[in-house]
Structure 1
Amino acid sequence: MNQVTPLPEHENQDESEAPHLVARQTGDVEQTVDHGVAVANTGPVAGNITVNVAPETETAVEVDEWWRRWASSLPAPFLLADRHDAVTHLRECLNAKPTRPIGLYGPSRDEVIAFTAAALLTEHHGQPVDPDSFPVAYVVFSVHAWTHLAAGPPSILIALFDVPDADLAGAISAGHHVIRPMWPPDDMARATICLPRIARDEGSDELIMAGWTPRAADRDAALGRRNLRALRRKLAADPRADPHSGWTIGKLANY
């Protein structure tokens, strides 16, 4: 099985048209590179993929690529279990003219980004979202990458660093939607959208649809509700779980 290079952990811590960006093909991964800025973009692929991008050189990544690396065998609809109001609210914000950052609050930063990826890429019960519904979304790790992407066509920028207020305002005035992940100890009252915990019953149903047995689905849904990071680690360590099979890669890669 090909290995997927993981992104750095951020949980519980605490074809671009931007000027001067040059696309470079490396294996299955297209990188957009300019003096240290690397934007990973695998494009449509099927089956196994190899990500040949070192995390330390990568300062932005498309949200579907972030999901591929993060999810292990976890199905995206699991992240939306009993969160349909939050999905609707997020999509309404992204369909409106951007005027301010979208503060998205959840149990951890990784869970907020995973929810955002799922909401942008899939409908309830795994039906893919029309790829023309939203502009491309990036998870951005540095101010250098932010500056380049903000100078390009309107997109969705998800900040994984403390963006200076002037850079936030500049991106929004240029037509970009900005999502600011929030998690404890951030002030939940300042959030635009607050995520409830993943619902155990509905989450279990989504896992069963993805191939879990009912008993395993109930157990893993309970764990994911309590601690999504622990569930992700459990699935990644399970030799029976193929992170390149089934819903996770197949439908996301080909939607």
Structure 2
Amino acid sequence: MGRTAIVTGGTRGLGKAIALALREAGHQVAANYLYDEEEAHAFQREHGIAVYRWDVSDFAACCEGVARVEAELGPVGVLVNNAGITADAMFHKMSEEQWWSVIQTNLGSMFAMTRPVIEGMRARGFGRIVNISSINARKGQAGQCNYAAAKAGIIGFTKSLALENAARNVTVNAVAPGYCDTPMVAAMRPDVLAAITAGIPAGRMGASADIARTVVFLADEAAGFITGATFDVNGGQYLA
């Protein structure tokens, strides 16, 4: 049974793959974005998925955005908290702006996006929330204290929210991707990418579809007995 699904950061990278996979699974998808309006509308024209612009770190904007989606597409039954940014620097050189921008967007958005949908999910007796964490939440990463802290916070948020809502048939799970074929990863130097790939037992970078398939499974009604879990999708690079 298809539901209305919101995917934050849903017009590019992992979010784009997730939005397309959810649509293929029969969901009515709303893809949120903030930057690159031209790219977002090209995505909408090509794939027929509605796009909505708001800042996931802004609670008021999220409330307004969710209300608009629900008015146009129906009650939200699936939320994928995918939007995220990086602002890498060694901690002793990290600015306050680099710290807080990543914390607010990557972790603050968990509250800002989930709070407007959780009461409706509880009242209707169904909800699927999937939060995108990271391999670096598990193992840490030099130059990413801000990013790793935010992504690790997502795992704690996921477990706690899962406990609060399990009895209402609202599941909350996390996916911790390894290095995948996204624009964020592609921006790395070729020698760095080669070294990373050499350290992945599966012998390759992840594909966006690898992550998307996991999210689609967790969003399904059949996954109703899985909650509070973190799925490591990293080709064996790090085993938690």
TM bin, normalised by shorter chain, reads under 0.3
Q: Which of 1 and 2 has higher RCO (CA within 8 Å, sep 6+)?
A: 1
Higher helix share: 2
- TM-score normalized by structure 2? 0.26
- TM-score normalized by structure 1? 0.24
